Structure formats: C-alpha cells, structure tokens
Chains A and B, each alone.
Chain A
Amino acid sequence: RKEVEQDPGPFNVPEGATVAFNCTYSNSASQSFFWYRQDCRKEPKLLMSVYSSGNEDGRFTAQLNRASQYISLLIRDSKLSDSATYLCVVSTSGTYKYIFGTGTRLKVLA
C-alpha cells in the first residue's frame, strides 16, 4: 500500500460544479497535511495547509479526518482556471519527510 494515495482521475466537471478529492495516508504519525496544485510543466504551488478543524479559503475547503486517515479538498463553483493536478502532501513531524500523492487531475469544462 502506498503511503499516500490519491485517485489519479481525470475528473472532468462542468464549470460551476462542485468537486471533491480525497487523499488517504497510511502513517498514523503524520502531523502536517497540505494541498498543492500543479499546472502542466510548472512547479507545484501551495494551495492550502490542512488543519485539524478544517479550513476554508474562498471556494476551497480542506478537511482532515484523523480517525479514517484521509484529507479532502472541496472546490465549489469550479472555474476553468481550476484545471490542474492537485497534489496531496503529508509530513511526519520532526522528520522533515514529505510524502506526495501521485496527484488528481481536474479538468473543468466550459
């Protein structure tokens, strides 16, 4: 089993739709969680950190479920510009080790 797993997609959704991605992790000692987006042929960019209580940034909501060991990303009112690959990143405190998921491809269609 991979340490961090994501559905690779692609998720093809119409503009305005709500879409959700999940990411599961296997190490129960994981402490820090992040969502990044990566556009084609570009570097990953931090979208948001994921906090235990869940957090929201505009149309994006991230949640953490420690009991089931997954994090989620919800995108509301999808825009064409949201088309990208979304990477889940998990880190274990004190190790400086970051584990990347393989990414979920999102394509928002006009």
Chain B
Amino acid sequence: GAVVSQHPSWVICKSGTSVKIECRSLDFQATTMFWYRQFPKQSLMLMATSNEGSKATYEQGVEKDKFLINHASLTLSTLTVTSAHPEDSSFYICSARDPRGPGELFFGEGSRLTVL
C-alpha cells in the first residue's frame, strides 16, 4: 500500500514551547491530508483537514491559532503545536488519501507528544 511517513515519532518538550510534526506522502501526491489526535483508550479525533496551497479546515473546537497547519507541497503537511501545555500531550497522527485507488486513507506512524 501507499506510504505515509511522520516525523518525529516521539517528542518531549517544555511547557510553552512549540513543536512541529511533519507528514509526508512518499509515493503519491496528496492534495488533502488529515490530522488527528488520540488520547489513550479513545478513538481518533479529526482535528483538521489540510489542503495543499490553501488554508486548512479545522473541526469544531480545535483552535487554529494553536494548531498551525501548513500544506506547502503535494507531499508534505506540517502541524505545529504552539505554546504547548501538558494537556496537549497526546498521540498525533496524520493520514493522506491515496488518489490512485478507491480512496483509502494511509496513516503516518504517529507522533507521541509529551509536554512537561
């Protein structure tokens, strides 16, 4: 299947700092990528839809100024958690839709963020 790579896998940061997470589609072009967060034993929660060359679409309740999304190319989307706080600690996962098939989503490996 298609390959989506996410980096970093793990990050620990101090409260108040910003963290950038990258999501790359390695073997296809993705005009749309999705960002999720998942707390332990809970389901994936869609945060925003990242659109290449335009502004991201945020889900209700997700602060766009806190979670900055940039989709500058067809293979790269970034999520920046600004002024991180301990409550932002979570598992962040990206996905991209493979346009070559029936529209399956392929997920990055996820990034586990711990804010101290």
Chain A contact residues, CB within 8 Å of chain B: 32, 34, 41-46, 49, 87, 89, 91, 93, 96, 98, 100-103
Contact = CB atoms under 8 A, between A and B. Distances in A.
A87 B106 CA distance: 13
Contact of A43 (B1, B34, B43, B109): B109
Nearest to B42: A102
B103 A44 contact: no
Point out which of A34, A43, A96, A98 has the most chain B C-beta atoms below 10 A from its C-beta.
A43
Size category of the B interface is 20 to 34
Contact of B104 (A46, A87, A93): A46
Nearest to B93: A43
A91 B49 CA distance: 14
30 contacts: A32-B102, A34-B104, A41-B112, A42-B109, A42-B110, A43-B6, A43-B93, A43-B109, A43-B110, A44-B44, A44-B95, A44-B107, A46-B1, A46-B106, A49-B101, A49-B102, A87-B43, A87-B44, A89-B105, A91-B103, A93-B103, A96-B32, A96-B49, A96-B97, A98-B34, A98-B105, A100-B44, A100-B46, A101-B43, A102-B43
A87 B105 CA distance: 12
CB-based closest 4 A-B pairs: A43-B107, A102-B43, A43-B110, A32-B103
Contacts of B105: 34, 46, 89, 98
Interface of B: 1, 6, 32, 34, 43-44, 46, 49, 91, 93, 95, 97, 101-110, 112
Contacts of B101: 49
Contacts of A98: 34, 46, 105
Contacts of B1: 46
A45 B106 CA distance: 7
Nearest to A93: B103
Nearest to A89: B105
